[in-house]
Amino acid sequence: MLSARTLIDFYVDGFRSMKLGRTLWKIILLKLLVFLTVLNLFFPDYLNSHFSTDQQRADHVLHQLTHLPSGK
């Protein structure tokens, strides 16, 4: 049976023995940081940030569908 210690060691040793992997992890973490910052600042969920209940969101979309004269 695989013990938790063995499993942790597997990952710890794996990360320690990385060479190129260290650079890649730095890129991944930097990317996630930039993405999350940009996404949180500039990409709010429009319906979640403007309405508090699902019914309000549904009513808003239904209003758009029945009143917005949009086209192509």
Partner 1 sequence: MLEHLDISQLSWARGQFALTAMYHWIFVPLTLGLSFLLAFFETLYVRTGNEQWKTITKFWMKLFGINFAIGVATGIIMEFEFGTNWSNYSWMVGDIFGAPLAAEGLFAFFLETTFFAVMFFGWNRVSKGFHLLSTWLVAIGSNLSALWILVANGWMQHPVGMVFNPDKARFEMENFWDVLLSPVAVSHFVHTTSSAFLLAALFVVTVCSWYLLKGRHVVMAKKSLAVAATFGLIASAFVGFTGDESAYTAAQVQPMKLAAMEGLWDGEVNADLVAVGIVNPGKKPGDNMDPFQLDIKLPYLLSLLANREFNSFVPGVNDLVYGNAEHGVVGAGEKIAQGKQAIAFLAAYKQAKDAGNTEAAQLALQQFDQVKEHIGYGYLTKAEDIVPPVPLVFYSFHVMVALGTLFPLVFAAVLFFLYKGTLQQQKWFLRAGVLSVFFGYMASQAGWIVAEVGRQPWAIQGLLPVGVARTQLTTTTVQMTFFMFLIIFTTLLIAEVRIMTRQIQNGPEGE
Binding site for partner 1 (CB under 8 A): 10-11, 13-15, 17, 20-21, 23-25, 27-28, 31-32, 34-35, 38-39, 42-48, 54, 57-59, 61-62, 64-72
Least distance between partner 1 and beta carbon 1 (Å): 15
CB nearer partner 1, residue 4 or residue 69: 69
Cβ neighbours for 21, distance < 8 A, ≥ 6 positions apart: 15
**Radius of gyration over alpha carbons of the chain, in Å?**
23
Residue 18 and residue 25 in contact, taking contact as beta carbons nearer than 8 Å: yes
For residue 46 the two structure tokens come to 């429009």
Least distance between partner 1 and beta carbon 51 (Å): 10
